[in-house]
Structure 1
Amino acid sequence: MKIVVISDTHLPKRKKGLPPRLIEELKNTDLILHAGDWQTLDVYRELQSYGRVEGVYGNVDDQEIKAMFPYKKIVEILGYKIGITHGHGKGKTTEQRAIETFKGEEVDCIIFGHSHIPVIRYERDILIFNPGSPTDKRRQKLFSFGVISLSDKIMAEHIIFNEGQQ
């Protein structure tokens, strides 16, 4: 099973639409996970045209998005429990806040956003994953999003690209 993971799209504030490199992956995915800062529901609607979408709200999302999505969510897929949160809040690092959000809960993976910094690492047996941003790279050299593959194990990778890259 292939899952496209995105966060911090900030559309249409940062870009006019989803980049071609992301759309290429969306055409061949089983599930789309969004870790918040959609900016508008138009992003959700566009993503729905490619497949099932699950997500959470971020700190810049309005009441309409907050009414549709929770602060945190656990999605169970093929026996794996994937926790999703944006990671915003006070104190500690974004990554620490995301991990603490699921403290005491059994998850195989924690997906978060907010920092726009791609992260892929393990803490104990839990995959810690931030896809970065496909539309607002901030201080990063390139744009990014993630792909998670589920089979007999959970694997993740970043897709890193230049703005004009197909």
Structure 2
Amino acid sequence: MRIVVVSDTHMPKKAKQLPMILKRDLEDCDFIIHAGDWQTVDLYHHLLQYAPTIGVTGNVDGPELKSLLNLKEIFRAGDFRIGIVHGHGTGKTTEKRAIEAFAEDAVDCIIYGHSHIPVLKENNGVIIFNPGSPTDKRRQKEFSYGILTIGERIEAKHIFFEDKQ
């Protein structure tokens, strides 16, 4: 199973369309995970044209998205449970808030966004993954998104690129 992971797309404010490199991966995936800050519901409907899309709302998402999506999700992929949260809030770091959101849940991977900073690490046997942003790199050197490959284990990787066209 191949899952494309995105966050913080902020569309249409930061981009009118998804980058071509991302579109190519979307054409060949089984699921899409979006960790919030879509900005409008249009992107949600667009992603559904590629594959089933699981997502959460972020701090810039409006009422229409909030009526469709939750603040937190747990998605089952094969034998694994993937926690999804945006990570916004007060106090602590974004990563710590994301980890705490699943403190009472048995998950194998936590996906979060908000910071626009790509992260891939392990914490107490749980993969911690922030895909970064494919449209708003902020202070990062490159734009990014992620790919999860689900088999006998979860393999997570970032796709980094310089041009969001």
User: What's the % identity of the aligned pairs?
Assistant: 55
Aligned-residue offset at 1:109: 0.2
Aligned-residue offset at 1:104: 1.7
Alpha-carbon distance in structure 1 between the residues aligned to 2:25 and 2:95: 26
| Change over 3 Å in CA distance of 1:5–1:164 after alignment to 2 | closer
Partner amino acid, structure 1, of 2:78: L
The residue that corresponds to 1:45 in the other structure is 45
Which secondary structure state, in structure 2, belongs to the residue aligned with residue 65 of structure 1? helix
The residue that corresponds to 2:72 in the other structure is 72
Q: Deviations over 1:92-111 (max 9, x none)?
A: 00000000000021000000
Structure 1 residue runs of 4 or more that deviate by more than 6 Å after TM superposition: none
Aligned-residue offset at 1:54: 0.3
| Change over 3 Å in CA distance of 1:133–1:49 after alignment to 2 | same
Aligned-residue offset at 1:21: 0.7
Q: How many residues align?
A: 165
Q: Deviations over 1:42-85 (max 9, x none)?
A: 10111111010000000000011011100000001111000000
Aligned-residue offset at 1:164: 5.4
Which secondary structure state, in structure 2, belongs to the residue aligned with residue 60 of structure 1? coil
Which secondary structure state, in structure 2, belongs to the residue aligned with residue 100 of structure 1? helix
Partner amino acid, structure 2, of 1:52: P
Alpha-carbon distance in structure 2 between the residues aligned to 1:12 and 1:26: 18
Structure 2 unpaired stretches of 5+: none
Which secondary structure state, in structure 2, belongs to the residue aligned with residue 138 of structure 1? coil
The residue that corresponds to 1:25 in the other structure is 25
RMSD: 0.8
The residue that corresponds to 1:129 in the other structure is 129
Which secondary structure state, in structure 1, belongs to the residue aligned with residue 104 of structure 2? coil
Structure 1 unpaired stretches of 5+: none
